[in-house]
Copies of this chain bind each other. A is one copy, B any other.
């Protein structure tokens, strides 16, 4: 194949999560953003077919609605072929590498930057790919929506500031790739969200009021997902076992 770089979006129909693959086919390295435990076989099949020698497993945040697939992928590929990366703004989170706003990550032909965007959770990161004019916004900014702010150190005020002071300062043509969509939309743009986001185009006071009245149900998986995701997707039983032996905090 003559192709050099590919970009792919994957969808988990159960949790409506998007997983993203950024792959440098020449150098045989790839990045996966926000994997799902239930979809690991699909992603491993792609890794096998395209013969990646090393995979970087990035998370935009500690998810509460699904378990990351990072542990299973690391189990399968081994420590030398896989590296998990998590926000340094979660004190308790474990991964092979922790990153913050001052860091960048170069993987083959890709260079990614990070924005710390607290609000949905305290440690949320948005991942910016300036060269390809796109940003992976996790649950901080969804298409015509945003993540809830009522757990994991969430704060409506902080989310509003993160979006307005950081995401909405990106060029308006940057494509927005969220961690979820529940209506079959796959992408948006910064410009569209500035203009049409029904929550975040409002004033901060209106936004905080909207968020305070959402009355959302307690997330079904949160009590399982958050502790496990803080541990890179490893279940407690593995944490002290050999499977997690070379999994550095």
Tell me whether A11 and B184 are in contact (CB under 8 A): yes
Which of B39, B173, B185 meets A3, CB within 8 Å?
A: B173
Contact yes or no, A173 B2, CB < 8 A: yes
Contact of A186 among B11, B39, B189 (CB under 8 A): B11
Instruction: Return the contact of A1 from the options B2, B13, B186, B189 (Cβ within 8 A).
Output: B189
Q: Using CB atoms, name the residue of chain B closest to A185.
A: B10
A243 to B245, CA, bound (A): 68
Question: Taking the complex as formed, is A150 at the interface, i.e. its CB lies under 8 A from any CB of chain B?
Answer: no
Within 8 A of B (CB), among A141-186: 171-173, 183-186
Please determine whether B196 and A9 come into contact, CB atoms closer than 8 angstroms: no
Q: Does A108 contact B (CB under 8 A)?
A: no
Q: Which of B2, B13, B49, B184 contacts A39 (CB 8 A)?
A: B184
Kindly identify which residue among B1, B183, B196 contacts A49, using a CB–CB cutoff of 8 Å.
Answer: B196
* Cβ-closest chain B residue relative to A3: B173
This chain's copy number in the assembly: 2
Chain A residues 1-49 with CB under 8 Å of chain B are 1-4, 6, 8-13, 39, 42, 49
A192 in contact (CB, < 8 A): yes
Q: Are B1 and A195 in contact (CB under 8 A)?
A: yes
The answer to the question of A211 belonging to the interface, with a C-beta cut-off of 8 Å to chain B, is: no
Q: Is A187 an interface residue (CB 8 A)?
A: yes
Are A173 and B1 touching (Cβ within 8 A)? yes
Please state if A8 and B42 are interface contacts (CB–CB under 8 Å): no
A191 CB–B CB distance under 8 Å: yes
Asked if B42 and A184 sit within 8 Å, CB to CB, the answer is yes
Instruction: List 7 A-B pairs, minimum CB-CB distance, nearest first.
Output: A1-B191, A3-B173, A11-B184, A9-B186, A1-B172, A10-B184, A49-B196
Contact residues of A with B, CB < 8 Å? 1-4, 6, 8-13, 39, 42, 49-50, 171-173, 183-187, 189, 191-192, 195-196
| Contact sample, A vs B, 28 pairs, CB 8 Å cutoff | A1-B172, A1-B173, A1-B189, A1-B191, A1-B192, A1-B195, A2-B172, A2-B173, A3-B189, A3-B191, A4-B173, A6-B189, A8-B185, A8-B186, A9-B9, A9-B186, A10-B186, A11-B11, A11-B184, A11-B185, A12-B184, A39-B184, A42-B183, A42-B184, A42-B185, A49-B196, A50-B192, A186-B186
